[in-house]
Structure 1
Amino acid sequence: MRSKKDTNSTVLPVSETGIAAVRERCRQLVRRRAMLSAGVAAVPIPGLDVVTDLRLFAMLIDDINQEFGLSEQQIGRMQPKFRMLAYEAALGVGGMLVGKLVTREVVMQVLRRTGFKVAARQAGKLVPLAGQLASAGIGFFAFRQIGYQHVEACAKVAQELLAAGVHQPPA
Structure 2
Amino acid sequence: MAAAVQRSRRLLHRRALVAAAASTVPVPGLDWAVDAALLSRLLPQISSEFGLSAQQLDQLDPEKREKVQKAVALVGSVLIGKLITQELVLRAARTVGVRLTTKQLAKYVPIAGQAVSAAIGYATLRYLGEQHMRDCIRVVQEAQLQLPAPATKG
TM-score of the pair, normalised by structure 1 = 0.81
User: Share of identical aligned residues, percent?
Assistant: 41
> Contact (CA 8 Å) 1:23, 1:152: kept in 2 or not?
no
Q: How far is the alpha carbon of 1:42 from its aligned partner? A: 1.0
> Contact (CA 8 Å) 1:61, 1:102: kept in 2 or not?
yes
Q: What amino acid sits opposite 2:44 in the alignment? A: D
Residue 140 (structure 1) aligns with: 122
Q: How far is the alpha carbon of 1:34 from its aligned partner? A: 0.6
Unaligned runs of 5+ in 1: 1-18
What is the aligned counterpart of 1:39 among 18, 21, 31?
A: 21
Residue 12 (structure 2) aligns with: 30
Residue 64 (structure 2) aligns with: 82
What is the aligned counterpart of 1:156 among 138, 144, 147?
A: 138
| Deviation sequence 1:5-47 (CA, Å, 0-9, x none) | xxxxxxxxxxxxxx11101110111111111100110112121
| Deviation sequence 1:93-146 (CA, Å, 0-9, x none) | 232211111011111111122111111011112211111111110111111011
Tell whether 2:149 aligns with 1:167: no
TM-score of the pair, normalised by structure 2 = 0.90
Tell whether 2:74 aligns with 1:95: no
Number of paired residues?
148
Deviating 4+ runs (over 6 angstroms): none
Q: 2: CA distance between counterparts of 1:67 and 1:167? A: 11
> Contact (CA 8 Å) 2:13, 2:126: kept in 1 or not?
yes
Tell whether 2:63 aligns with 1:71: no
Q: Match of 1:113, SS?
A: helix
> Contact (CA 8 Å) 1:46, 1:125: kept in 2 or not?
no
More helix by share: 2
> Contact (CA 8 Å) 1:161, 1:167: kept in 2 or not?
no
Q: How does 1:47-66 map to 2 (within 5 A)?
A: 47-66=29-48
Q: 2: CA distance between counterparts of 1:114 and 1:77? A: 34
> RMSD between aligned alpha carbons?
1.5
Q: 2: CA distance between counterparts of 1:49 and 1:132? A: 12
Unaligned runs of 5+ in 2: 149-154
Q: How far is the alpha carbon of 1:168 from its aligned partner? A: 7.1
What is the aligned counterpart of 1:125 among 91, 107, 122?
A: 107
Q: 1: CA distance between counterparts of 2:24 and 2:107? A: 8
